[in-house]
Structure 1
Amino acid sequence: MATTKEMSVEEKLRALYDLQIIDTRIDEIRNVRGELPLEVDDLEDEVAGLTIRLEKLQNELVSIDEQIKTKKSAIEEHQAAIKKYNEQQKEVRNNREFNSLSKEIEFQELEIQLAEKQIKELKASIEFKKNVVETSKEKLEEKLTHLTHKKSELNDIMAETQKEENFLLEKSAEYEKMIDERLLAAYKRIRGSVRNGLAVVSIERGASAGSYFTIPPQTQVEIASRKKIITDEHSGRILVDNALALEEKNKMDELFAKL
């Protein structure tokens, strides 16, 4: 085909329509996958989040267990101090020393009570967190199973379509290079603004494909002459005549048949 600067309007229209056929085929392949890639991404994020949460909970359980050990060790120290003060009371010489030791014993007993209360609270926290861990593990297993299923489903579809999609993406890039930047930009703008991605359509039964608005006979003649780029005044799509569209479709069908 001629270089971009030397291309006639007809050649531009053919290149545009070919690009549209290729891009539509890519759209169809991706529609087969549907929301699967997004579902897989979301599930992977959920699995990662649950895994981090589980690790955090398990680290917290280890930390609480260490705190309990520290509290129990402190209780033993307080009990040893009480025993020591009790022994010292037996050898005091006056009430002042006896009362001072009694206060120390009372303080140690209060510390023991406080530590025992904290141990009880820590043990309750352990039980609560263990339940959360079990629930989180079950949820993680459920999400992992779902993720495995969805990945397998996606991999099967990818195995069937990836080769064709890669081929079509290369062809799409090739045809884009044939079209001047302004026309290509217009094509992409229109394609992005319409629901079905059809930026270039043919005339069918006097109307643009997919539209109920009739194209005036004079405009149809101008489109068939292939002397200038004409757009549908209602949808903004670029219009080509049916004969050109059929020729390019047959050409593309032969190209796709080689896959």
Structure 2
Amino acid sequence: MATEKKNDKERSVEERLQNLYQLQSYLSEIDRIKILRGELPNEVKDLEDEIIRYQTRIQKYKDEIEELKNLVAQKKGDINERRIKIEKYEEQINNVRNNREFAFLEKEKEFEGLEIELAEKNIREANEKQEQKAAEIVRAEEGLADNKHILEEKRKELEEIVSETRMEEENIRMKAKDLEQKIDDYTLAAFKRIRKNARNGLGIVTVQRSACGGCFNRIPPQRQLEIKMHKKVIVCEYCGRIMVDGALVGEVQPEVEAPVKPKRKLSKNS
């Protein structure tokens, strides 16, 4: 009975390793398809972000122009009011009774004149800024149009590649999803974590020429023996990848040729 349980346990480990290796092959195939697409998805995303930045910039310029227009309208209103005041002061000056009143009205008239000059200066500056903002809008709209054109081409190019590989990728993803149901949650989570941290996306590798198939560091003989026994899940002490015996997953390992010993030269005396 104990032997049966032991064999079931060993078989369970073997199945987990086989399923993990098969899952890795599916995921590697999906990675290959993504590589075929190259940097296009990232380029499309960057262009979309750039278009949003252009649109935001254009809207900002338009809002600033609107504020400047409101400022100009306000300053023009101030100028009209101050000119009315000046006309009123001029009428009062004609009817002054003493020098003190005259000096006061002249001062008020001068003050209003200075305020008008300042308002006119503000209007000129605001109009100049409006022209600058309008020019910025033109440049931004040109950049926006260029990016939209490039984005359209990139999207078409990406769609062509995706359409060619979509069916293949969907089939592989379905197989991978079905296979994940056969793997326990703990082992699957550990595998995904290892794969995420691995530079080449390999979470499980075979032993190749007495070395880890992921980082190629040499594996001690005792460790190799444990891997071949399939009694437990073993990870590489250097890169953390799960290691599996190539024979278990049907991978033929290249034979290492024994070094040819040089022939011993016979001495003249022999």
The TM-score, its normalising length taken from structure 1, stands at 0.77
Q: Secondary structure at the match of 1:78?
A: helix
Tell which deviates more after alignment, 71-80 or 21-30: 71-80
Match of 2:260 in 1: none
Q: CA deviation at 1:113?
A: 1.2
User: Amino acid of the residue matched to residue 105 of structure 1?
Assistant: K
Structure 1: which 5+ residue stretches go unaligned? 248-259
8 A contact 2:228–2:244 mirrored in 1? no
Question: CA–CA distance in 2 between the matches of 1:230 and 1:92?
Answer: 108
> Which residue among 79, 83, 88 is the counterpart of 1:79?
83
Q: CA deviation at 1:57?
A: 0.8
Query: Higher relative contact order by CA 8 Å / sep ≥ 6: 1 or 2?
Result: 1
Match of 1:10 in 2: 14
Tell which deviates more after alignment, 98-107 or 236-245: 236-245
Question: CA–CA distance in 1 between the matches of 2:10 and 2:221?
Answer: 30
Question: CA–CA distance in 2 between the matches of 1:85 and 1:193?
Answer: 82
Give deviations 1:210-252, integer Å, cap 9, x for gaps: 66567778877775665554555665432133473359xxxxx
Question: CA–CA distance in 2 between the matches of 1:138 and 1:188?
Answer: 45
Question: CA–CA distance in 1 between the matches of 2:38 and 2:148?
Answer: 21
Match of 2:169 in 1: 165
Give 1 or 2 for the bigger CA radius of gyration.
Answer: 2
Q: CA deviation at 1:133?
A: 2.0
1:107 aligns with 2:108: no
User: Amino acid of the residue matched to residue 199 of structure 2?
Assistant: R
Match of 1:33 in 2: 37
1:124 aligns with 2:128: yes
Alignment of 1:1-259 (within 5 A): 8-203=12-207, 209=213, 226=230, 228-231=232-235, 235=239, 236-242=241-247, 244-246=249-251
8 A contact 1:223–1:241 mirrored in 2? no
User: Amino acid of the residue matched to residue 160 of structure 2?
Assistant: D
8 A contact 2:10–2:231 mirrored in 1? no
Q: Secondary structure at the match of 1:238?
A: strand
Question: CA–CA distance in 1 between the matches of 2:11 and 2:243?
Answer: 17
Higher helix residue share:
1
Question: CA–CA distance in 2 between the matches of 1:227 and 1:122?
Answer: 81
Question: CA–CA distance in 1 between the matches of 2:126 and 2:235?
Answer: 74
